């Protein structure tokens, strides 16, 4: 029995969606074998359905593309921030372990062997009484000739090497109290005449020498100890 194309066209949507009965499916299959028009109608239906799906997905695709771009930018931004933070932390760590601006408190200092040498030089031994290394020692002179010798450390302090018992933390220093110097001296300032020498800061210090408190005169053995050849 020949089925009308009108009937097949009514069944095509159900056939395309695979929701028609088995008998209807067989009927449409048989008709499509010989009817070019109905086959074309089925193809058009498939094309139109795909177009409709694509149209419906356009907003979703747009959102997806925006999300993908946003995520890509976020990843790049995150990497740049991470690299910057690591660089800052590295610089900060190096600075905290090398920049010396923390004065050593005087309760950690032991001053001994203070002598007045020839040529108006004052010699003394400084020992830092802890297990930390000493990175730097500086000296400042006020307008009235008072010198402050300040041992300094970094914020993150370094442990002293056990095999070393000499260094800035334990050594003899020589300071000239007048402008012109002869021989080896530490912290020599050619145009400064000193009136006092302190170890520490202006607020935390130990007096080593001043013009009203003469130091013990060095004997020949002590003088030889501070010659250029021995010091």
pLDDT tens for 138-185 read 888 998 899 999 999 888 877 887 766 778 889 899 998 886 555 556
A 10 A CB-CB count for 108 gives: 14
Q: Provide the pLDDT for residue 187.
A: 72
pTM: 0.59
Contacts 24+ apart (CB under 8 A), 139-144: 139/175, 139/186, 139/187, 141/189, 141/192, 141/194, 144/195
Where the chain has pLDDT below 50, the residues are: none
Q: Provide the pLDDT for residue 151.
A: 93
Q: Provide the pLDDT for residue 57.
A: 59
Q: Provide the pLDDT for residue 103.
A: 92
Distance (Å, whole) CA 144 – CA 231: 30
What Å distances lie between residue 35 and 6, 9, 48, CA to CA?
A: 12, 11, 20
Distance (Å, whole) CA 214 – CA 201: 22
Q: Provide the pLDDT for residue 208.
A: 94
């Amino acid at each position: 029995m020949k089925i009308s194309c009108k009937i097949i066209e009514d069944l095509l949507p159900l056939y395309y969606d695979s929701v028609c009965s088995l008998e209807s499916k067989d009927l449409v299959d048989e008709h499509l074998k010989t009817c070019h028009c109905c086959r074309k109608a089925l193809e058009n239906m498939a094309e139109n359905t795909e177009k409709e799906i694509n149209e419906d997905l356009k907003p979703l695709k747009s959102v997806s593309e925006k999300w993908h771009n946003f995520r890509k930018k976020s990843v790049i931004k995150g990497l740049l921030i991470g690299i910057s933070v690591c660089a800052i932390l590295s610089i900060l760590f190096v600075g905290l372990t090398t920049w010396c601006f923390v004065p050593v408190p005087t309760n950690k200092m032991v001053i001994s062997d203070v002598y007045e040498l020839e040529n108006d030089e004052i010699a003394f031994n400084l020992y830092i009484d802890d297990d930390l290394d000493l990175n730097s020692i500086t000296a400042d002179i006020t307008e009235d000739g008072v010198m402050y010798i300040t041992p300094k450390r970094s914020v993150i302090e370094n442990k002293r090497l056990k095999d070393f018992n000499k260094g800035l933390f334990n050594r003899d220093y020589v300071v000239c109290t007048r402008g012109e110097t002869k021989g080896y001296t530490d912290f020599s300032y050619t145009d400064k005449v000193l009136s006092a020498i302190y170890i520490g800061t202006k607020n935390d210090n130990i007096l080593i020498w001043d013009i009203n408190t003469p130091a013990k005169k060095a004997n020949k053995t002590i003088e030889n100890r501070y010659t250029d050849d021995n010091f």
